[in-house]
Amino acid sequence: MCTYSKEHVEFLKNIRKKKIIVTISRLAIIILFLICWELLAKYKIINTFLFSSPSNVFKTFLKLVKDGSLFKHIGITFYEVFISFSIATIGGVIIATIFWSNEMLSKILDPYITILNSLPKVALGPLIIIWVGASINSIIFMALLISLFITIINIYNAFISVDKDYLILFKVFGANKRQIFMKVILPSNYTSIIAALKINVSMSLIGVIMGELLVSKSGLGYLIMYGSQVFNINLVITSVVILGIISYLMYFIIDKIEQKI
């Protein structure tokens, strides 16, 4: 039977206590914000036509559920985000690995990666539609333009920032590049890769919504655009709230993966 010292038990209690405090604080901030928002709308301090209210957002949400369109739009947006997120993450890690293994190639292509990352993606929207077509492919392509290059840059910089003493030690013992990568570079950068994934969630969402605003006839980005065109602020804010929930769920999954690692 495994027994713990009093100090260790106290340490575990403090960890659980901190987690509970963090969770309660997060919920309290959301609840307080919603209460203040609803009260400001109820007593006409803010214009509900411009700012909506939690009750109006909830009514709009129920209306979308009843007419069956909500889950269709959520499903399309989530699919686009998942595909672009997966490609950008896997592609970013692979390309960063190639750059790390070939210093000459990285020096040649580094300025081009920076230039491509700094291009105004919205301005390229019409060109993307011409190149790829006004379809789901152009939305995914837009999201990739936003998330892929920043993933490559972040992960590659993490790879080359590993303590040089570790690399020298492994080389002294005769390790090849593959062994150095698997035993030093990759284990040393689990945290950096997870951080890149968290950034990628937001970047993929931004890219998908930008693409949907341009070409889509379905998805949460389409609902935002349609709501803006007909001055239905309730629909716009409801769509934004749902986007926030999707973003949090993806962040939560990645956070759990980080804890396991």
Block residue for tokens 């890690």: 93
Domain locations along the chain: 1-46, 53-260
Closest CA to 144 of 130, 161, 163, 124: 124
Report residue 77 as tokens.
């947006």
Amino acid in position 182: M
CATH code at 53-260 = 1.10.3720.10
The per-residue pLDDT string of the chain (261 residues; one tens digit each, 9 = 90 and over) reads 456 677 777 887 888 888 899 889 989 999 999 999 999 999 989 988 888 899 999 999 999 999 888 889 999 999 999 999 999 999 999 999 999 988 899 889 988 988 888 888 777 878 888 888 878 888 898 889 888 999 999 999 999 888 888 888 888 888 888 888 888 888 888 888 888 888 888 888 888 988 888 887 888 999 999 998 888 999 999 999 999 888 888 888 888 887 777
CA distances from 156 to 19, 93, 150, 204, 228 (A): 32, 8, 10, 19, 40
**Residue 7: both structure tokens together:** 């100090």
In three-state secondary structure terms, 193 is helix
How far apart, in whole angstroms, are the C-alpha atoms of residue 216 and residue 134? Answer: 8
Cα-based angle 233, 238, 243 (whole degrees, multiple of 5): 125
Cα gap 249→157, rounded to integer Å: 28
Q: Which of 234, 244, 239, 249 is nearest to 212 (CA)?
A: 239
The model's pTM is: 0.81
